[in-house]
Structure 1
């Protein structure tokens, strides 16, 4: 039997009106939905920022507390109460072919650059750098010297400056410090095979 299609005008009008009203509501509600979505996204980002900020602040306080106790008189004084600004022996100026050397004072021209014995040059007040000056420009440095010359205290002082967001560090004050002592790494246990010849020579 052939299929006879019959269109009910009333049903068609009701369906058409319902669809029109539905899409009208959707078009009107779309800006509100997008605004709600943006608000939820903003709240999630703010919550994440607060969480990250809280973790960072706790880490800064922990680093500061540890740095302030990394000296011999830690039971009596905090490091900031007795610290003298650590100074590093400035390296010699680079000599490049075709360029006139920069001016050097008499001390720099006379004394050899003995980076392992800075106390010898310290008698004659050579050119020095603060820790903030030494690490400016994103350079990597290694502080070397004889035992007791203040390497650990210098790093603890630098960590304290970073933890306190000191203006002395310039743009570096926004960096998060991580203060790790070599004794915390337990290198002797991890690389025991490299220490065996040394132990045998002592025994």
Structure 2
């Protein structure tokens, strides 16, 4: 399958919608589960991470051209490793949940933030140096994400980093007994952490779904090179 044929069939919007779908599934599983224990939290995250990693790998193969695949490949590797780690029974503990999710959120968040920032910077108008060819005139802009896609990557990357920082602020041994009428229980740190991850998944699902369904501006035609003009 050629890059041109793949680009006609699969676009960035399809990647965003696939990621939004898996994030929404994770949100539903956490929201409608009365058990917010470490076992449930790690299990949900593991399935979400492995499915999302497959989306990243498919995007690197079918959507992005050479030169723009590194964010998807790196995020796919990190996310797949995090999902596989979550599938290990000894790591389905409170400490395991915090360690896996925080590490994944910070690393993938930094990768996606850097990719989005670089994409926006590459599209920023600037004065060309002597002898430098405009990147939009020789075919290389194919390796640069459009402004909207770069902005979406930047936002999602920042949200992921915020997830990691928020989980770091939750004490793992926190326990607060409560009683509401005839209902008694204990609010624990892992309950809060799993809820925070569910909230993160909900935000990402809504944001990526809106981004995926938003209309794209038509790509500007590239300026012909000197040889083509001749």
Determine if the TM-score, normalized by the shorter chain, exceeds 0.5: no
Greater Rg, structure 1 or structure 2?
A: 1
TM-score, reference length from structure 2:
0.20
TM-score for both structures, normalised by structure 1: 0.22
Structure scoring higher RCO (CA < 8 A, sep ≥ 6) equals 2
Per residue, is there more helix in 1 or in 2?
Answer: 2
